[in-house]
Amino acid sequence: MAITTFSGPVRSLAGFITGTDVDSTVTSATLAVTSDSNGQTINLSRAAGITVTLPAATGSKAVYTFIVATAVTSNSNVIQVANSTDTMNGLASVGGTTAAIFGTLPASDTLTMNGSTTGGLVGSYVQVTDIAAGEYLVNAALVGSGTPATPFSAAV
């Protein structure tokens, strides 16, 4: 009988999906996420904002986690799908002078953190999971200021 040996981080989520737990820090204006980022925590560290493009949703169960490590002071941190057919479904809680929970709309495909009313201050957290072909599940806890507003839109 053969013995199978695994090395490195391996997670079992409906089969074996490999990834790394190594954090990556992004300081460039754009980031094209690949399946290699599955399981990683990606630190968004650019005051002028970062536009993150997710891979096409296929139902892979891949999980992408984003933490705002540098507050947005101009532009926005944007997390968007790869194409006009993928959508985001889920919730975002935004805390400012008050707090509110916002759900996606049927055509939502973009989450924007503007550094104030839609979150984007240090500690803001977004997790997206590729749950089906054309569909991401979003769970976000966003730190903002002022009166909270929805971070979701149909922009792709």
pTM of the model: 0.85
Spatial separation of the C-alpha atoms in residues 114 and 6, rounded to whole Å: 42
pLDDT per residue of the chain (156 residues) written in tens, 0 to 9: 454 444 445 444 444 444 445 478 999 999 999 998 999 999 999 999 999 999 999 999 999 999 999 999 989 999 999 999 999 999 999 998 899 999 999 999 999 999 999 999 999 999 999 999 999 999 999 999 999 999 999 999
For the chain, give every domain's residue range: 10-153
Spatial separation of the C-alpha atoms in residues 111 and 121, rounded to whole Å: 14
CATH number for the region 10-153 comes to 2.60.120.640
